[in-house]
Chains A and B, each alone.
Chain A
């Protein structure tokens, strides 16, 4: 059941993005930034957490979930360490993904040659 919920919620989030792509002049890069920021806001006001509980990876794998983790981390940091925690919490919570993106991005660009576009 949780796989079906992850599939449907994750799929629907992507459909929203696809509609924005097709009906506006925004590029995928705009969508990434907008969805991430939306995730931070939704996470900050507590609206995203119920979706994570309901859909699991369907809510955390889309970039909205990355924003949610950032907001969640910042709030937890603020709870325990005040203003300093508000600064450190977000990146601490998402450090794994960011570090992975940097190191794997670097390695892949050394190992693989870009395919020539036809």
Chain B
């Protein structure tokens, strides 16, 4: 061990790094992501049945899923789902909710302003920055392209 060169050590260390279990991870992401989306479809259908239009249904589904994601994060359940589902738990909008609640809870001790309110945007902040920026660009590009016609 002690006589190893850097290169030898690197090789040794690489061997020790556990190889991700690709297939199992993909399967679990598929199942967990699929289940969350199926549940979303269930809420969507319920809202459609109550007579709401497409926009209200989209907004309502987002609100309900975000609430459930936040509640499950608060209860400590969503982290467990995340460990099982990986990207299957991160990519649905419930994962976005988790990305907000989790740091907000963790930094609670730093106070209500610089702890909770500030740290809840550690991940959601970049998401909103890129989302809003690109959407405004899309709108402006649309204007430029359709005015040219």
Contact = CB atoms under 8 A, between A and B. Distances in A.
Interface of A: 2-3, 6-15, 17-22, 28-29, 31-33, 35-37, 40-41, 43-44, 55-58, 60-67, 69-71, 73-75, 77-79, 82-83, 85-87, 89-91, 93-102, 104-115
A105 B101 contact: yes
Given A32-B123, A69-B58, A83-B140, A100 B34 contact: no
Given A10-B38, A61-B36, A90-B138, 4 more contacts: A33-B126, A66-B93, A67-B134, A105-B97
Given A90-B136, A102-B120, A112 B91 contact: no
A71 B138 contact: yes
Contacts of B141: 44
Contact of A44 (B30, B104, B124, B138): B138
Contacts of A6: 34, 37-38, 40-41
Contacts of B95: 28, 32, 63
A100 B67 contact: yes
Contacts of B148: none
Contacts of A70: 131-132, 134-135, 138
Among B33, B66, B132, chain A packs the most CB atoms within 10 A around the CB of: B33
A73 B87 contact: no
A62 B92 contact: yes
A109 B140 contact: no
13 contacts: A10-B33, A14-B29, A32-B99, A36-B127, A58-B41, A60-B61, A63-B92, A66-B93, A78-B143, A97-B66, A101-B96, A112-B105, A114-B108
Given A3-B38, A29-B123, A90 B131 contact: yes
Contacts of A82: 143
B117 A7 contact: no
Contacts of B26: 15, 18-19
B149 interface: no
A101 B135 contact: no
Interface in B81-115: 85-88, 90-97, 99-102, 104-106, 108
Contacts of A33: 126-127, 130
Contacts of A100: 62-63, 66-67, 97
